[in-house]
Amino acid sequence: MRSVYRLNPCRTALNRVAGMPFKWSLNPYMGCAHRCTFCYVRAFERRADRPSGEEYGAVVRIKTNVADVLRIELARPSWMRETVVIGAATDPYQPAEGRFRLTRACLEALSDARTPIGLITRSPLVVRDVDVLTRAARRVSVAVHFSVPTLDQAVWRATEPGTPPPRARLAALQRLVRAGIRADVLMAPILPGLSDRPDQLEAVVRAAREAGATQVSAFLLHLRPGTREHFLEHLARDWPEELRRYEKLYASGPYLAGAEPANLRDRMAALRRRFDIADRRETPLEPPPAARQLELLVSEPEALRSTA
């Protein structure tokens, strides 16, 4: 199913975020053609009284002026140059980016404003912008997070119907790391009974290590209203034998209770040690000391003063 593009200018570009390890997010698009069955954004769409089921992603809003608005916001005296994460609510490198290039324009704006950058994507299209990313990484901290929940072909095809193959993402990660850019793997979400077998987890960590990932982390599926209904509907179609189990696992709320979260953390820690996951960039691109000092000043002023 092809998405319809709707050209809509925006009034603001930066979004303040709560409850996350970063304070600001940026989404050049709204709606996502990837249509992952487990996407947590479906929950936000439902709360906003927008389609969260099969219709989600049928229309993608193109924020045509987002880079211009972003430059205005970054130029304000009050802007503290805190990290901005692109792609927290929609993939910034979904197919629309190949045509509209809004993510690239936003990266250029952030780089010019010496603002630290985080990117979250499931697409290898990010390598197109390696020139912008390397230029930015010489000024500020840059990190690209590739979402690779599984290498299992059946699970990938059923749950991420609009995404590029996982190994294509790992190939893109390898190209970025070779260019000196920090890039890691987010195994998110891990699906109980579908993608959490020891051999499945090991396969991703092994492939991430071979690609040069600077870090690997994993997170279990959570099912808020909106996401829950859509995911369980697809689960009933693709793995009907798992439906009762999931209804029991998530009977008490959106997050998996019991020992499973701790078990996953322990298994991932063991895999990271076994495969010796670490930053192995041969020629790492890092901002100059003055830029790193400035980042610390605006993001952790107390820490900086304590070392003065």
What number is the average pLDDT over the span 93-117? 98
Percent of all residues in the chain with a pLDDT value above 90, rounded to a whole number: 83
Whole-number pLDDT of residue 214: 97
Q: d(Cα 72, Cα 77) in Å, to the nearest integer?
A: 11
Residue 57 falls inside a structural domain: yes
Residue 292 has pLDDT above 80, yes or no: no
User: How many domains is the chain partitioned into structurally?
Assistant: 1
244/49: higher pLDDT: 244
Residue 14 falls inside a structural domain: yes
Residue 69 falls inside a structural domain: yes
Residue 291 falls inside a structural domain: no
Residue 308 falls inside a structural domain: no
Residue 299 falls inside a structural domain: no
Residue 302 has pLDDT above 70, yes or no: no
* DSSP alpha helix (H) spans, 239-275: 243-249, 260-274
What number is the average pLDDT over the span 109-134? 98
Q: d(Cα 242, Cα 142) in Å, to the nearest integer?
A: 40
Q: What is the pLDDT of residues 14-65, one digit of tens each?
A: 999 988 889 999 999 999 999 999 999 998 888 888 888 888 989 999 999 9
Question: For residue 18, which amino acid is it?
Answer: A
Q: d(Cα 3, Cα 54) in Å, to the nearest integer?
A: 12
Residue 306 has pLDDT above 60, yes or no: no
192: containing domain: 4-277
Q: What is the pLDDT of residues 187-206, one digit of tens each?
A: 999 999 999 999 999 999 99
Whole-number pLDDT of residue 290: 53
Residue 127 falls inside a structural domain: yes
Q: What is the pLDDT of residues 246-283, one digit of tens each?
A: 999 999 999 997 888 999 999 999 999 999 999 999 89
Residue 78 falls inside a structural domain: yes
Mean residue pLDDT across the chain = 92
Look up the CATH number of the domain holding residue 79: 3.80.30.30
What residues contact 71, with CB distance under 8 A and at least 6 apart? 109, 112, 113
Question: Which of 70, 81, 179, 184 has its CA nearest to residue 139?
Answer: 81
Residue 295 has pLDDT above 50, yes or no: no
- Is residue 291 very low, low, confident or very high in pLDDT (cuts 50, 70, 90)? low
Question: Which of 139, 158, 162 has its CA nearest to residue 150?
Answer: 158
Query: How would DSSP label each residue in 140-179?
Result: S-EEEEEE-----HHHHHHH-TTSPPHHHHHHHHHHHHHT
The residues with which 286 forms a beta bridge, in sequence order, are none
Whole-number pLDDT of residue 257: 79
Task: Sort strands 142-147 and 117-121 into parallel, antiparallel or unpaired.
Answer: parallel
- Is residue 139 very low, low, confident or very high in pLDDT (cuts 50, 70, 90)? very high
What size, in residues, is the chain? 308
